[in-house]
Amino acid sequence: MTTVHEDNGRRGRTRYTLADARQDGHAWGVCAEVEGLFGEPQRGIYELFGWVPEAEARGWIGSRVWMVPDDETLDPWLLEDAESLGRLPGTDSVVLTGLDEYEGPPEGHRGRVRVHDGHRWLGSSREFARVLPPEQSAPPLVLRGLAQGDQLREALMKGTRRALDLEQAALEIQDDQGEPLTERLLWARVSAWRPSSYGTDRIDLELDGELFTPVPAYARPIWERWFAGPPDTQGAWAGLDTRRRGAWLDLVRERACRRTHRDRPAGHAYVLDGRHVTDEPGLYLALGEAVNGPGGYFGGCLAAVDECLGGTFGYTAPATLLWQDAAIAHKHLSRALTPNGEPYDLFAEVLDVLKGRMHVTLA
C-alpha cells in the first residue's frame, strides 16, 4: 500500500481511508472528517390505488416490506427501510417509499398486490404505480483535511477527466481506538479540491455525490456510539426500536467481517439473555453477545448462524446454550411470513439451526 504521511496531532485521530477497491488496494488518502457520509438515500415512491388496510401502516413500517402480486408467475418485490406516507387526501390511495435497488415489477405492471412486513399483512391494493421523484442534485462527499497518497497527488496534478475518475473505491472507517469498523464502497469521481484549514499540506477533496449512497440520518447516533469503540456491557442496543436495532446489527456484522475471532474451546456453556428478543434484529444481537460478548456477532440471518456454528466465529462444538426468558422470543417471533407471504415459525427455525450444533436449554 502506498505511504500516506499523517500527523494526528492537530485534529485528532485518523478515522477514514479512501482506498482503491481494485486489486492493488493502495490508499488515495486519509482524513479525520467526512462531510456527506450521512443523509437521505434516494427512495422509490409507490402509489397504491384502492388501498384496503389490514393493519396500521403509518410512518416507518419495516426494514423489509414485500409487495406480493396476485400473479403467481411473478416474484414479490422488496422495499427496504419502508415508510408509509398515509392516504393521499381525497383519494383511496396510499403512498409507500423505500430503498428498492433490487429488481422490481415488470415495466407497466398494474396488477393487484398485497403488502406485508415479514410478520403481518398490512393491506392490499387493486393496482399501483411507481412515482418518479423530483430531480434533486446530490450533495458532494467531502473528505476534509485529506492527507494525499502519491497516486492521488499525481491524478490531481494531471487534472484530466480520466485522471480524476478514481473508479471503484472503498471508504474504510476505523473507530477512535484505531480498530476497523466498516467500509462504504463507491465510485470515486473527483469534482473539486481546495486547500484545507486542517493544515498547509492538506486538501478538502470533493467526490461526486451522485455516485455515493449516504448512511441514513436515523442511523447517525448508532454510528457515533460505535465510533467511540465497541460497547463494554451487553444489551446496549436493548432500548432501540427495530429500525435502529437493524442499524446496530449492520455495524456489528460489518465490524465482525474485518476482525479475526478466537474460538472458545469445546464444552463452553453460553447464556443468552432473552429479555429483549422482541424482534428479529434483537434475536441476532442477543445471540451474538451470548457467544462473543458485548457487541459480538454470531449471524444476522439463519444461514449466517449456521455458518458461524461451523467455527471461526468464536464457537467450537460441542457446547451448551441456556436461553433465558425464551418465552419472549416465542411470543414475538413464532408468527413470521416468507417473501411470498407463507407463514412460518422463526423461533422454531432458529432453534433447529442451533440444536444441530449445540445443546440448547430453554428457561
Domain boundary among 83, 101, 131: 131
Task: Check pLDDT > 90 for residue 100.
Answer: no
Cα(35)–Cα(27) distance, rounded to whole angstroms? Answer: 19
Residue 56 lies in a domain: yes
Residue 122: per-residue pLDDT: 97
Contact present, 329 and 274 (Cβ < 8 Å): yes
Contact present, 335 and 347 (Cβ < 8 Å): no
In this structure, the answer to whether residues 335 and 309 fall within a common structural domain is yes
Task: Check pLDDT > 80 for residue 80.
Answer: yes
Domain boundary among 100, 131, 162: 131
pLDDT in tens, 259-311: 877 788 899 999 999 999 999 999 999 999 999 999 999 999 999 999 999 98
Residue 4 lies in a domain: no
Among 317, 214, 199, residue whose Cα is nearest residue 263: 317
Residue 10 lies in a domain: no
Task: Check pLDDT > 70 for residue 9.
Answer: no
Residue with more model confidence, 181 or 72:
181
Residue 162 lies in a domain: yes
Task: Check pLDDT > 80 for residue 102.
Answer: no
Mean pLDDT for the stretch of residues 112-141:
89
Residue 6 lies in a domain: no
In this structure, the answer to whether residues 127 and 193 fall within a common structural domain is no
In this structure, the answer to whether residues 207 and 261 fall within a common structural domain is no
C-alpha grid cell, residue 181: 469498523
Q: Which residue has the cell 463452553?
A: 268
Domain boundary among 160, 186, 218: 218
Residue 71: per-residue pLDDT: 87
In this structure, the answer to whether residues 244 and 347 fall within a common structural domain is yes
In this structure, the answer to whether residues 52 and 26 fall within a common structural domain is no
CB atoms within 10 A of CB 177: 11
pLDDT in tens, 212-269: 999 999 999 999 999 999 999 999 999 999 999 999 999 999 999 888 777 888 999 9
Residue 13: per-residue pLDDT: 66
Q: How far is CA 158 from the centre of its chain?
A: 37
Residue 8 lies in a domain: no
Cα(78)–Cα(345) distance, rounded to whole angstroms? Answer: 21
In this structure, the answer to whether residues 152 and 103 fall within a common structural domain is no
Mean pLDDT for the stretch of residues 109-122:
92
Domain count, the chain: 3
Residue 134: per-residue pLDDT: 73
Task: Check pLDDT > 80 for residue 4.
Answer: no
In this structure, the answer to whether residues 252 and 322 fall within a common structural domain is yes
In this structure, the answer to whether residues 243 and 106 fall within a common structural domain is no
C-alpha grid cell, residue 133: 421523484
Contact present, 64 and 78 (Cβ < 8 Å): yes
Residue with more model confidence, 298 or 88:
298
Task: Check pLDDT > 80 for residue 1.
Answer: no
β-partners of residue 162 are none
Mean pLDDT for the stretch of residues 338-354:
97
Domain assignment of residue 251, given as a range: 230-362
In this structure, the answer to whether residues 308 and 355 fall within a common structural domain is yes
In this structure, the answer to whether residues 316 and 271 fall within a common structural domain is yes
Q: Give the global pTM.
A: 0.93
CA 287 to each of CA 274, 279, 290: distance values in angstroms, whole numbers, following the listed order = 9, 13, 5
Beta strands at 180-196 and 113-116: parallel, antiparallel or unpaired = unpaired
